[in-house]
Each structure stands twice: as structure tokens, then as C-alpha cells.
Structure 1
Amino acid sequence: MRKYRNRANITQDRLAGIIQFSQSLIGFIERGERTPSHNFMQRYDDAVHTGGELVRLWAHLTRGASPRWFRNWLDIEQEAHTLHAWEPLYVPGLLQTEEYAITVIRGEPGISDAQVEKAVTARMERQAIFLRSDPPMYRVVLDEGVLQRPIGGKKVMHRQIERLMEAAESSRIGIQIIPVALGVTTGLLGGFAIAQISGSPDKVYIESATNGHVTDHPEDVEAIHRRYDALRATAQPQHVSTELIREMEKLWT
């Protein structure tokens, strides 16, 4: 970044005025002490006229913040026209607020502040797929306990529930809730996601306590589809689920 800035004969102070970020933040990022957002990098790239080179390098940087076993899924996620997900314990990454994501990621034993920052940045940038001109359809089934678990405390949960309400207003996103009172046990062993890609077999991502598993093996895909279909059949209709989420918003106010 510094090489391109110097080549463009732009000081940090002048650059700060152009891209509307502080000079101190520019310094931190150029020294590798902070992870830039996509917005920052795009403005920086435009200001120093690299023709998108820094944005491309940034994409590799944020991709590297994700575990190796998850990077294949990131590519699949980008290609999918439809994504389905089940989560029994927490809000899926594609719908998390930054504060909620920080709390979840900090739960990894031994993780450093720098690693948290990079992982959160990568998670937030994944959500950019919903800003595309052709965003994927996203269908999510959540256990009601996800809405009740106080991850990050009242303020964080209130904003997270608001985020779910905002997402539910999109014609491309559907959220269904399985009430705790039903005592459903299907899927309690862990979350999973299904990606549907034109001209390609479905692929699934299966969570575990250590490394997630990505596969398009027909038997695995069929087994996950069966579980998802069973869960979705048990879940409340979308309009009822939206009311459940709205009630939970009052709980965290």
C-alpha cells in the first residue's frame, strides 16, 4: 500500500482528506497493525490509482483470515444461487452483526485480538453477497434457543434481533423458527448449510467442534437434505416466525 501511495506522490495527510479516513488509521493499516475494511481498501485503491490491484490483494488477505478448511466453502458460497442453513445454537455468520460476531469469535480459546479482528472483518465481508445485483436466495431455519441465548449481553442481542428483522424483510431471505417447546432433536448435533449451484451437484458444509467439513459426496448431501427437510417441515411458517423474532426483540430491549 505504501509503495503505491508513494508512487502516486500522495502523503498520508493528503490521502486522509481524499478517502475520509483518519491519517492515524491509514498509518496503522500500512504498518499491518489493523485490518482494513472493503470500503477503506476500495477508497484507498481509487485514490492511488492501482486499477483494483489493492482490492484484489485485500481479498486474499481477508480470505486468509478464515481457517483453511473453510476457504473452499467461501468459493462455493459465492457461486451459489440458493443457500439453505440450519443453526441450533447461534445466528449464522451471514446474518451476524459485527458485535455479535466479535463475541462468538472471542469464544475460541487462545485467540488473539489481532486474529479476532481479522476473522470478524472476513465474516462481515462475506455478507457482501447480499449486496450484489444477483444475490443468492437464503433460507435459514433457527432453533428458538438461538434468540434466547444472551451472547454478548442485552445490547448486542437487541441489535442482533433487529438485524434478523431487517433480513426477514428481504424477498431473498427467509427465516423460520423451531419453537423450543416442540422438543425437536433433529439437527441438535450441529449446524449445516446447503449450497445449490447451477450446473453442479449440491454441496454441503457440516459444522463440528474442530474443523468443518465441506463435501458433495451424494450420500452426505442426501443425508443433510433429509435433515433439513425434516427441520423445515417442523419450523413455524415465515410470518409466524417473524412474529416470534419480534417478540424476542422486546425481551432484549
Structure 2
Amino acid sequence: MSRIPTLTLLHEQLRRARQARGLSQEELGKLINYSSSKVSAVETGQNPVTPDYLARVDTALDTGGLFVAMLELIRFHAAPEWFRPWDENEREATALRWYDPTVIPGLLQTEGYARAMLALGGELTADEVETRVVTRLARQEVLTATPRPQFVAVLEEHTLRRQVGDPATMREQLEHLLAVGAEPNVQVRVVPAEAPWHNGLNGPFVLARLGNGAELAHLDNQLRGQTVDCPSDVAALEHRWETVTGEALPCRQSARLIEEAAKTWT
């Protein structure tokens, strides 16, 4: 599969930097605690690069943070212009609350699920899909940042049962939800299918609290997203959040429901 020039350049520079140090893929793998097959897959573009991988390479090869900076540039240019302000807010947030009635929230998506979602409809080229996958996975580093933000995700049960990609992709995605949901700063809650209609079903939204105490929100529609900072609008979404969390199962019951759904994807 071809790659856009920015990703191609990153892959090539990773390989060249390793070779310039006289290291084999196996030797570099030992330095960064990755397998040689993983190093090979990243350098050839078969696996997406991640901030963690690049940070380890930067340290091992003493590049001064070059590769992490290259990924940041790719991430910036790949993001739609309307999304960039929210991307910055997401990084600065001390707390994020995300409700989505239709799909797994982006910060919780696996590589396979993200790729299947982005490829739907053929609106993006293969290269654009790969770039979006890389940048979406890079965004997820916010969940393990220091200090870690508090993250609560609420989703609908039918999201667990609607196929995106193949069954293996769905099983991997639901198992990933269980793993991430076990982290101390993350809660994943599910609204059961038997719950009545509620006003959260009108569309997805994210609420963010920044370090300075500011409260913001993000809304998505069919064409683009919108950052909301009007206090009355944020307060209205806070009310909707209370509604959806009131319908959602507690974390442990949600985990049992996710685990049961994961077993159905065989």
C-alpha cells in the first residue's frame, strides 16, 4: 500500500537513522524494547507509528526529539482545519466526558476499528485513511499523559453489536475497551438496549475541563465539528450528560456487558 509523502519520509528517515548508527533492526529493537519484526513493520509502513515508539527511537538514537516532532507535523497537517482548536483543548484537558450513540469514541478505537471506520464510503483515499489512522492513534496518548486526565466514555449497547470491519476487528475492539476501561483514570459505561429514548441520542458530544477551569464542548455533525464555549450551551450539554449517565450501567456491569458482546464476535 502506498503512503503519502510525509509518512513515506518518516518511514525512510527511521530506517536511515538506524542504519547511520550501524544498528540492525534486531539491535535497535533491543534498545527500545520492541521486537525486530515490529521495527521492520514500522520502517516499511506495515504498522502505524506511535508516539511511544518514536520517543524510544529518539532516545536510543539521540535525535533530539526529531521523530516525535515529525509525527506532530503529520498530525497537524492531517487534521481538518476545523478540528485543530479542539485537538489542542483535548491535550490540555484535565477531564474529558464523551458520549457517542453510534460508534466507539475515537480515543478508545483500535487500529483495525479506526481503519474500517475511516475507509467506509470510499470518501478518503487509501493514503488518507492510513494518515488518519496514524494521527488518531497518536491522539490516544492523551489518556496516558502526565498527569493523566480523567476520562469517562458512555456508549450505547447497539454500538457493541453493530459490525465495523470484520468480526475479528469487533472482538479486538471490545477487548480493548475492557483493557482501557480497567485503567484508573478511565471509565467506560454502556447504556443498555432496553433503556428508553433519551435526549442524548440526538448526537455525540464531548465535554472538556481545562487546567484553568474552563469548560468547553465539542459537537460533531455529518460535515465537520464545532467547539462550543458559550456557558449556556455547555450547561445544556452538561444536562444531557446527566441524562445519559443516568441511563448508563455502572462500570462493572458495563464491563460484563462488553465482555458478553465480545464473545459473540467469532
TM-score (norm 2): 0.82
Which structure 1 residue ranges, 5 or more long, are not aligned? none
Q: Distance in 2 between matches of 1:196 and 1:59?
A: 23
Q: Does the residue aligned with 1:138 lie in a helix, a strand or coil?
A: strand
TM alignment of 1:70-219, pairs within 5 A: 70-219=83-232
Matching residue's letter, 1:128: E
Matching residue's letter, 2:247: T
Q: Does the residue aligned with 1:188 lie in a helix, a strand or coil?
A: helix
Q: 1:234 maps to which residue?
A: 247
* Aligned-residue offset at 1:100: 0.4
Q: Distance in 2 between matches of 1:34 and 1:170?
A: 25
Q: 2:261 maps to which residue?
A: 248
Decide whether aligned partners of structure 1 residues 9 and 80 sit closer, same or farther in structure 2, where only a CA change above 3 A counts: closer
Q: Does the residue aligned with 1:117 lie in a helix, a strand or coil?
A: helix
Decide whether aligned partners of structure 1 residues 173 and 47 sit closer, same or farther in structure 2, where only a CA change above 3 A counts: closer
Q: Distance in 2 between matches of 1:168 and 1:34?
A: 24
The answer on whether the counterparts of 1:204 and 1:215 sit within 8 Å (CA) in structure 2 is yes
Decide whether aligned partners of structure 1 residues 78 and 150 sit closer, same or farther in structure 2, where only a CA change above 3 A counts: same
The answer on whether the counterparts of 1:177 and 1:241 sit within 8 Å (CA) in structure 2 is yes
The answer on whether the counterparts of 1:19 and 1:43 sit within 8 Å (CA) in structure 2 is no
Q: Does the residue aligned with 1:107 lie in a helix, a strand or coil?
A: helix
- Tell me if 1:51 matches 2:64: yes
The answer on whether the counterparts of 1:85 and 1:192 sit within 8 Å (CA) in structure 2 is yes
Q: 2:75 maps to which residue?
A: 62
Counterpart of 2:28 (choices 19, 36, 45) is: 19
For these two proteins, the number of residue pairs brought into alignment is 247
TM-score (norm 1): 0.86
* Aligned-residue offset at 1:19: 3.2
Bigger mean CA offset, 177-186 vs 145-154: 177-186
Question: Deviation string for 1:44-102 (max 9, x for gaps)?
Answer: 53455331134223212122212111111111111111100101011001111100000
Which structure 2 residue ranges, 5 or more long, are not aligned? 1-9, 30-38
Q: Distance in 1 between matches of 2:249 and 2:18?
A: 59
CA RMSD of aligned residues (A): 2.7
Decide whether aligned partners of structure 1 residues 162 and 5 sit closer, same or farther in structure 2, where only a CA change above 3 A counts: closer
